[in-house]
Amino acid sequence: MKKVLIVDDNDRYANHLKVYFDQKNIKSDRAYDAKQGWDMFQKSNDYDMIVSDVTMETQTSGLWMMRRIYQSGYKGVMVIASTGFDVWGVMPFSSYFLTWFCGLHWMIPKVPLKQGTVEWVPTILSKGKTNPF
């Protein structure tokens, strides 16, 4: 069975992601901030995917956690769900920069997620694919 780590301090977004994965019969664990996400990753390095918010304890704590996981040699799918992706011009830049910075495969904008829709936007690492699961 596939397993996902969701790292987000916002209950609404995290719950919409959990429902999405539950409907696909994918187990998910949740961390409430980047520190807890890193700790959970270290304890159970069997996640097929990590989905993280960016702004939690600090404005960029999610990014730094994802970079740390990427640099640890993690081979799973890296996803960021962020309100930043709802700002014009951020996704095209992120599609390149975040692949280098933290091995990002997918971006999830939060405006659709707020309504319960998980919209998978590929980075250059996942171009041509429909979604990871």
Predicted TM-score (pTM) of the model is: 0.93
3-122: CATH topology is Rossmann fold (3.40.50)
Q: Ramachandran region of residue 53, left (φ > 0), alpha (ψ -120 to 50) or beta? A: beta
Angle between helices 61-71 and 90-102 (to 10 degrees): 40
pLDDT greater than 80 at residue 133: no
Strand partners, 4: 28, 49
The predicted structure's pLDDT at residue 26: 96
The predicted structure's pLDDT at residue 44: 87
Q: What does the pLDDT look like over 63-119, one tens digit per residue?
A: 999 999 999 999 999 999 998 888 888 888 899 899 999 999 999 999 999 999 999
Average pLDDT over residues 19-25: 96
Residue 115 φ then ψ, to 5°: -90, 0
The predicted structure's pLDDT at residue 74: 95
Collapsing DSSP states into helix, strand and coil, what is residue 64?
Answer: helix
